[in-house]
Amino acid sequence: MLEIIATTVEDAKRIAACGAGRIELIRDLSQGGLTPEHGLIKEVVENVKIPVNVMIRPHANSFVYTSAELKAMKEDILTAGQLKANGVVFGVLDENNEICEKSLVKLLEACAGLAVTFHRAIDELADPVKGIKVLAKYPQITTVLTSGGKGNILDNLTTIKDMLENAAKIRVLVGGGLTFENIERVMAETGAPEFHFGTAIRDNSSTFGEINEKKLTALVKLMSRMKR
């Protein structure tokens, strides 16, 4: 599975046309991704036939949320479901930089019928392997997006493998620092089932660049060849 970040309807159309398997829909890529507008969700879902997972993140200040913010996030999750999104993407931590299970349970209450990805908030933990063991307790969580912790993804390959071994039924989606130069090594050394790209397939590898269809098509072909 190859998941690509989209911020516009045109992004989504290009991603689908180039053969990627899933879209993560966000706004403000330069801030790591925030909740997209409801109108954008509707238009993207209606214009592509591949699954669309919607970021649920009200701000980029932290992954610690107030009760009011959690309430708003629940409303956004419900709306994403009503608009026929495939799933939602979020992460919640506490003041000690651990997974906030209390907040997690509240958000999962709104996720009926949706795939749930816990995003790279897990990379803020001192021990991401411990974190994925916590998440594995919750059947609704289908995927965890991770680069294996902080720093260069190539320095975290052992951690990613340990996360895979402790993920139970959760699918580990590797992303955050993937490039054309390192993807073959990451695929070969981790054996992960899913991969997530953002800026690497955009013009100038920029958060403000357009999706480069030649780059994305080449990536799809490369990953297909690696899987054989």
Quick one: tokens of 90?
């979020």
CB 65 within 8 A of CB 93: no
Q: Provide the 8-state DSSP code for 32.
A: T
The structure tokens 């070969």 sit at 188
Quick one: tokens of 48?
């592509």
Give yes or no for residue 228 having a pLDDT over 90: no
Give yes or no for residue 214 having a pLDDT over 80: yes
How many CB atoms are closer than 10 A to CB 116? 24
Mean pLDDT along residues 144-151:
95
Enter the pTM of the model.
Answer: 0.95
Q: Tell me, what's the pLDDT at 225?
A: 81
Q: Is the Cα torsion angle 86, 76, 125, 151 positive or negative in sign? A: positive
Q: Tell me, what's the pLDDT at 226?
A: 74
Mean pLDDT along residues 136-155:
96
The structure tokens 């907040």 sit at 103
Over residues 151-202, the pLDDT tens digits come to 999 999 999 999 999 999 999 999 999 999 999 999 999 999 999 999 999 9
Mean pLDDT along residues 1-26:
96
Quick one: tokens of 55?
């970021």
- Spatial distance between the Cα atoms of 34 and 85, rounded to a whole number of angstroms: 16
Structural domain range at position 77? 2-227
| pLDDT > 70 in the chain, percent | 99
Number of domains in the chain: 1
Name the band, by pLDDT with cuts 50, 70 and 90, for residue 8: very high
Give yes or no for residue 227 having a pLDDT over 70: no
CATH code, domain carrying 32: 3.20.20.380
Q: Tell me, what's the pLDDT at 224?
A: 83
